[in-house]
Amino acid sequence: MSSLAVRKAAPAAGTTPGTAQGPPLRRRIAFVPTVTLLLGAIYCLLPVAWVLIAATKSGRELFSTFTFLPGTGFAENVKDLNAYRDGVYWKWMGNSALYAGLGALLSTAVSALSGYALAIYRFRGRETVFNILLAGVLMPPVILAIPQYLLLAKADLTDSYASVLLPLVLSPYGVYLARIYATAAVPSDVVEAGRMDGASEWRIFTRVALPMMVPGLVTVFLFQFVAVWNNFLLPYIMLSDDEKFPITLGLFTLLEQGANTPALYTLVITGALLAVIPLIALFLVIQRFWSLDLLSGAVKS
């Protein structure tokens, strides 16, 4: 800082605002940052653009034409995908929606309850409980998944919807975010006022605190939805019946078979495109509600 102050005498003429040239300069585009960001955007959109175009190609066109030229086979590819094993693809999409939707909902409920309890009440063992729950973040999923599989096998629960749903309901990160948000959003005098009025603790939580926590809980829900939708390892370990597969695992098995039969490539590519579209659509809609302040708040503390 001090070295900057010393250099006061040599200001770069063009960069000082508030001088006579101020207004026109402000309208000038910052060239380097804009170009850098555009390159970054191109890099990030490239595979998506590629799959969009590749999905329109028939199997023959895929290997013969320039990749960024649209083909003529999109309708055919979708029809093939629908026909593949009696439409098992759509079953996978439905399963993913179920795992991610229901899983994220349950997870948000548990996070809300725990986050609220940890934020509002003073009780013995509060920090211990919090730290133990948080330690779960550090546990590599595979370390948990194998004994989880063996234990669920003993309960005869593997290869079921529950085996993919239940292990993901408790999200340490969700509890953490919910606690931070509840601390910031639910004033303790509001809780006290509820008690004065004779409301039960449960009623105060559901009627008073929960509405105040909604924006934070939306973030928890979205994080968890994406996390479950993107999960591969747990269903990979737990499931063997492909009627119960989520889309990630389904596409993987399709690719595994397709590796030896290039005829299946178009199916995999079309499947990948259709799997990405709902997520991108959801993403475009929700990014407006995505509570980034919460994210940074979580980062700062």
Partner 1 sequence: MTSARRKSYGVKGAPYAFLLPATTLFALFFALPIGYAIWLSLHKVQVKGLGLGSGARSEVWAGLENYTDALTDSELLDGALRVLGYGAIVVPVMLGLALLFALMLDTERVRLAPFTRLAIFLPYAIPGVVAALLWGFLYLPDVSPFYFVLDKLGLPQPDLLDGGGLYAALSNIAVWGGTGFNMIVIYTSLQAIPAEVHEAAKLDGATPLQIALRIKIPMVAPSLVLTFFFSIIATLQVFSEPTTLKPLTNSISTTWSPLMKVYQDAFQNGDIYSAAATAVIIAFVTLLLSFGFLRAANSRTKQQGEAR
| 263 scored as a contact of partner 1 (CB under 8 A) | no
Asked if residue 174 lies in contact with residue 223, where contact means CB atoms within 8 angstroms, the answer is: yes
Q: Among 26, 86, 128, 261, which residue sits at the site for partner 1 (rule: CB under 8 A)? A: 26
* Least CB distance to partner 1 at residue 151 (A): 6
Q: Which of residues 69-108 bind partner 1 (CB under 8 A)?
A: none
Of the two residues 15 and 20, which places its CB atom closer to partner 1 in the complex? 15
| 128 scored as a contact of partner 1 (CB under 8 A) | no
Tokens standing for residue 50: 């590629």
Q: Among 123, 127, 128, 241, which residue sits at the site for partner 1 (rule: CB under 8 A)? A: 123
CA dist 152 and 144 (Å) reads: 12
Stretch that binds partner 1, among 78-86, 87-95, 212-220, 276-284 (CB under 8 A): 276-284
| 19 scored as a contact of partner 1 (CB under 8 A) | no
x/- string (CB under 8 A) for partner 1, residues 151-170? Answer: x--------------xx-xx
Of the two residues 78 and 286, which places its CB atom closer to partner 1 in the complex? 286
Q: Among 88, 129, 208, 212, which residue sits at the site for partner 1 (rule: CB under 8 A)? A: 129
Q: Among 87, 94, 136, 211, which residue sits at the site for partner 1 (rule: CB under 8 A)? A: 136
Residue 143 is which amino acid? I
Stretch that binds partner 1, among 50-58, 70-78, 79-87, 210-218 (CB under 8 A): 50-58
Stretch that binds partner 1, among 77-85, 87-95, 139-147, 212-220 (CB under 8 A): 139-147
CA dist 124 and 104 (Å) reads: 29
| 220 scored as a contact of partner 1 (CB under 8 A) | no
CA dist 163 and 175 (Å) reads: 21
Give start and end residues of each alpha helix (H) in the chain. Answer: 2-6, 22-27, 31-54, 59-64, 74-83, 88-120, 126-135, 141-154, 161-165, 172-185, 188-196, 201-203, 210-230, 233-238, 247-258, 265-286, 292-300
Stretch that binds partner 1, among 36-44, 71-79, 82-90, 213-221 (CB under 8 A): 36-44
| 36 scored as a contact of partner 1 (CB under 8 A) | yes
Of the two residues 16 and 82, which places its CB atom closer to partner 1 in the complex? 16
| 243 scored as a contact of partner 1 (CB under 8 A) | no
CA dist 265 and 242 (Å) reads: 19
CA dist 6 and 156 (Å) reads: 73
CA dist 245 and 241 (Å) reads: 7
Closest of 135, 123, 124 to residue 176, by C-alpha: 135
Asked if residue 224 lies in contact with residue 107, where contact means CB atoms within 8 angstroms, the answer is: yes
